Amino acid sequence: MNFTAQPNLSRIAEDQTEGMREGLPRLPALVRTPSPRVAIKVKGKILFVDLGEVVAVQAEGNYVLLHRNASSYMLRESISALEKKLEPYGFIRIHRSILVNAAFVEEIRPYSTGEYGLRVRGGKEYTVTRTYKKNLKSLAEFWIGTSTFFPN
């Protein structure tokens, strides 16, 4: 009888398990991605705010307010400068004085004036002016059934 040497299956399984154990400590580091944060000076200290928690940014003269659920923070920065900085993080301009975090948008409703109403999580409503309607349209391109909602 001719027997061919077969690899020891239990040894192979042990080697694979050991390799997985060695890789597991590195797994959380691979999964964790740094969340974008902004540093804000508040009452003599620096507060780090996760941009994923910011619902909207509103211009107030030479300042902007970052609106987060129950709190707001004031920064001395123009809305235009923040628009450029925050666009890669999902913020869109809907009004000359408002940026919203697209992740918080729950509803868009057309008005008879050609403007739109935009409701964010938490119930706050904003008006999307005709000037910035194109930004809203690009937000909704991936939503279902939007081809006739935003006429050209």
* Residue at 43 is within a domain: yes
Q: Measure the CA dihedral 76/82/86/91, to 10°.
A: 110
* Residue at 17 is within a domain: no
- CATH number for the domain spanning 104: value is 2.40.50.1020
* Residue at 20 is within a domain: no
* Residue at 119 is within a domain: yes
* Residue at 11 is within a domain: no
How many domains, in total, are found in the chain? 1
**For the segment 101-130, what is each residue's pLDDT rounded down to a tens digit?**
999 999 999 999 989 999 999 899 999 998
Task: Report the C-alpha gap between 14 and 146 in whole angstroms.
Answer: 54
Start-to-end CA distance of the chain, whole Å, equals 81
Domain that holds residue 73: 37-140
The model's pTM: 0.69
Q: Which of 120, 52, 61 is nearest to 86 (CA)?
A: 52
* Residue at 10 is within a domain: no
Scan for tokens 């061919």, then name that residue: 4
**For the segment 41-97, what is each residue's pLDDT rounded down to a tens digit?**
888 999 998 999 999 999 999 999 999 988 899 888 999 999 999 998 889 999 999
